[in-house]
Amino acid sequence: MSPTRMQSSDPASTVDIRAFRALAALELYEAQLKVLLHDPAEPGRRHRLREHMAELRRCCAGCAGLTVPWLDLMISHHELLERLDEGPRPRTDDHEQALARATRRHQACLRELAVACRRKMQARTLVGTRESVSRTRRAAQADAGDARNAS
């Protein structure tokens, strides 16, 4: 079994663990982002946010179905931080609007990556369910064939 797969005796519970880990890392990232947006001046928060972003990168790297949403998130992350970095000088309405747009775009990218992770997890579960149903049908057909041969 691949180290990136979680598997129990029931194939229906097979889940791509990278998608599961990415979803967990995404939730931690979102929580840290909310704190940062509330108080962008504290430097330790940016460091923690970068750590969560690195964990997301590790989870999404090379994971089919997560690459595009991950790249969109990475780009919007940097755009949002650029808007926040424009400094403590008096902010204009234009700056506030640009920050609001960057925040909305970033939140949309967060949602899209979360959807992609859930979709990937669901797809693995559906594959496991189909395999389980096929195995059950084959066993039932074999049992029916054995019963016909016995009579």
Rounded CA-CA distance 146/109 in Å is 55
Work out the end-to-end distance of the chain between its first and last CA atoms, rounded to an integer number of angstroms: 42
39 token code pair = 């108080």
- Please say if the pLDDT value at position 74 is more than 50: yes
Task: Dump pLDDT digits (tens) for 77-131.
Answer: 999 999 888 765 666 778 888 889 999 999 999 999 999 999 988 876 555 555 5
Q: Where are the alpha helices (DSSP H) in the chain?
A: 17-38, 43-60, 67-84, 93-150
CATH architecture of 14-146: Up-down Bundle (1.20)
- The residues that bridge with 5 in the sheet, in sequence order, are 16
∠ CA 133-136-138, nearest 5°, is 110
Rounded CA-CA distance 24/42 in Å is 24
Q: Output the pLDDT for position 62.
A: 77
Summarize the confidence of residues 12-23 as an average pLDDT.
Answer: 72
- Three-class SS of residue 16? strand
Q: Is the pTM of this model over 0.85?
A: no
